[in-house]
Amino acid sequence: MDELASGQAAVDALVRLLDLEALGGDRFLGISPPVGPQRVFGGQVAGQALVAAGRTVDPERQVHSLHGYFVRPGDPTVPITYAVENIRDGRSFSVRRSVAQQHGKVIFFMSASFHVPEDGLDHHEAAPADIPPPEDVPTMAERLAKYPERAGIWSMIPRPIDVRYVGEPGWVRPGDRPASPTQRVWMRIDGKLPDDPLVHACALTFASDLTLLDSVLAVHGAVWGPGGFVGASLDHALWFHRGFRADEWFLYDSVSPSASDARGLATGRMFTRDGRHIATAVQEGLLRRVGG
């Protein structure tokens, strides 16, 4: 299978992952990939929770924000049940609460708000300047070729997404990453997605959890894995500002304003290639030294 077909196959698998089974009564069932990390990837459960919430809302109302908490590690061998509560349907906004459960316990919960598009003020900060285009940035395969012993760290993450780091990623060898105030990554879903805006919002939610905490380590030139840190997402918030396609390149520009008590805060802005600000993410994560 050639590279393009392989990428589309992974994207098709992501779409199936986000296509939850309806159980009735605003309850849905989601599964995890047959091969993956020892715990459910945070972006997956957040994306699936948003799918569940979106399935209960008028399609004309588009998600504009979500706020979620990761409560327990998810078990990838067990299906996840999502229960959606209708908090409110107003004239312009709908609010839903989506709760993910396994083994009778909550592993994640999210509030999501949906809005009927309307006219209003429009402005945004400019995208970072002088960023090389994605075609001029090394691919993940090219990055991994330099660090074969570190490849296992990245291989634990599902990859229907083309990720290209501007600068050194967080999984290189200790000492190979200079300290930096920013973490910048080009991303896109590595194939063609359906045209449904909810699918693109859920795919972006999935992608938004991949590299955001890297910016916390970047400030210190620190890395993931042996000789560095292990981490976990504690909460995640995402705002959608403008229409986009997640299968087209966007720049994920992330910084960390604070870290203390083994927790790090990260914020990221997403820009299209033509500089439109499409989304903003904020996340706090737990970061502990390996062996600490």
- Residues marked as catalytic: 209, 233, 283
For tokens 């997956």, what's the residue? 44
* 32 token code pair: 């995890």
**For residues 227 and 198, is the Cβ–Cβ distance under 8 A?**
no
For tokens 């995890």, what's the residue? 32
The span from the CA of 248 to the CA of 244, in Å, is 8
**For residues 49 and 97, is the Cβ–Cβ distance under 8 A?**
no
- Residue type, position 46, single letter: A
Contacts of 30 (CB under 8 A, 6+ apart): 17, 20, 21, 45, 48, 51, 52, 79, 80, 81, 82, 100
Strands (E), the chain: 21-22, 27-30, 62-70, 80-89, 93-102, 105-115, 161-166, 183-189, 229-240, 250-260, 263-272, 277-289
Question: 182's torsion region: left (phi>0), alpha (psi -120 to 50) or beta?
Answer: beta
Pick the closest to residue 55 from 237, 161, 196, 205 (CA basis). 196
The span from the CA of 268 to the CA of 270, in Å, is 7
